[in-house]
Amino acid sequence: MNNILIVFNILYSLNVILLSQYHSLNSFYFITKNKLIINEITDDIKDLYKWNNKNVTKHYWVDELNEKMQKNIDVINNEIIKNLGDEFENVRGMDEIYYSTNNNKNSDLSFVNTHTDGPLYYCSVYRGLIVLQGNKNTNTILDSNRKIYNLQKYDVLLFDYNNNLHYIETNNIYNDTNNRILIKLHYVKENNFNCGNMNVKYNKFARDLFNYNKYILNLSGKLMLFGQIINSFRVYFFYIYIGLYLLKKNKIIEKILILLSIIPLSHLYFIIYINYLM
């Protein structure tokens, strides 16, 4: 029975490693040509919502905004699709306005920890960050420290939602206390495996969990942060699992493999949960 469990986890680990690499998308950056539209959206956002607490992150779904704001965002959306190509389509159910905090704590820690935004490694989904207001002290770091962006107004950055390791880094070099205000738009490639709907379901699940732990880090929040680590470094965990299997020469390593089986099994259960049980 133990050998069956170990072999199953080896096969699952290989599946995750190969599909993560096959569906991985390259990040890219450009400056929008629609600056007047960005100015309009920024003015409307600031008029619509009066933010007084700079220590609280806020998220607003794009499909709940008024018609004018949605039409302006569609202009930016069309510009991005022209850059991506016709094989991509917008996933409106994931799109949001994001208002950052200058004080990362509780569930906001998920932004400063190295992470991927989603667990659906077999889906090719872009997340696009369109900047309405930047902060000189905040850097977005992609691809395991290889790409560093200090995003400012009119910047557009796209990266792999499910497979790109990234994090936010803050410092106090500049006298800039602005909260970052971003539009987050999303794009799925050819929508294989029903990836559009699956990522919408996961994104809303994650947002609800995030909001529940915004002011106090509950048990679910602690599990969320731990799960984020497991999911984000899944490929490395699975390489280690396979490596241990290849070195297996005694009962101690076999017991370690059985113990570590909780990682691929938990990951698989979560994928099944998102696809079939939510």
**170 and 119 in one domain?**
yes
Cα distance between residue 172 and residue 185, in whole Å: 29
What is the identity of the amino acid at 118?
Answer: G
Cα distance between residue 275 and residue 123, in whole Å: 12
Domain boundary pick from 216, 246, 261: 216
**254 and 195 in one domain?**
no
Residue 128's domain spans which residues?
26-216
Task: Give the DSSP per-residue string, 93-146.
Answer: GG-EEEE--SS--GGGHHHHS-B-S-S-TT--EEEEEEEEE--TTEEEEETTTT
Does residue 12 lie in a domain region?
yes
pTM assigned to the model: 0.90
- The phi and psi torsions of 110 (rounded to 5 degrees) equal -65, -25
**93 and 73 in one domain?**
yes
**268 and 239 in one domain?**
yes
Quote the number of domains for the chain.
2
**178 and 110 in one domain?**
yes
What is the identity of the amino acid at 85?
Answer: G
Does residue 221 lie in a domain region?
no
**185 and 47 in one domain?**
yes
Does residue 253 lie in a domain region?
yes
Cα distance between residue 91 and residue 112, in whole Å: 25
pLDDT in tens, the chain (278 residues): 678 888 898 899 899 999 998 899 999 999 999 999 999 999 988 766 665 556 677 888 999 999 999 999 999 999 999 999 989 999 999 999 988 876 655 445 556 778 889 999 999 999 999 999 999 998 999 976 688 999 999 999 999 999 999 988 888 888 888 889 999 999 999 888 899 999 999 999 888 887 777 777 788 777 777 877 887 888 888 888 888 888 867 788 888 888 888 888 888 888 888 888 77
**146 and 9 in one domain?**
no
Instruction: Give, in degrees to the nearest 5, the angle at Cα 24 between 92 and 181.
Output: 45
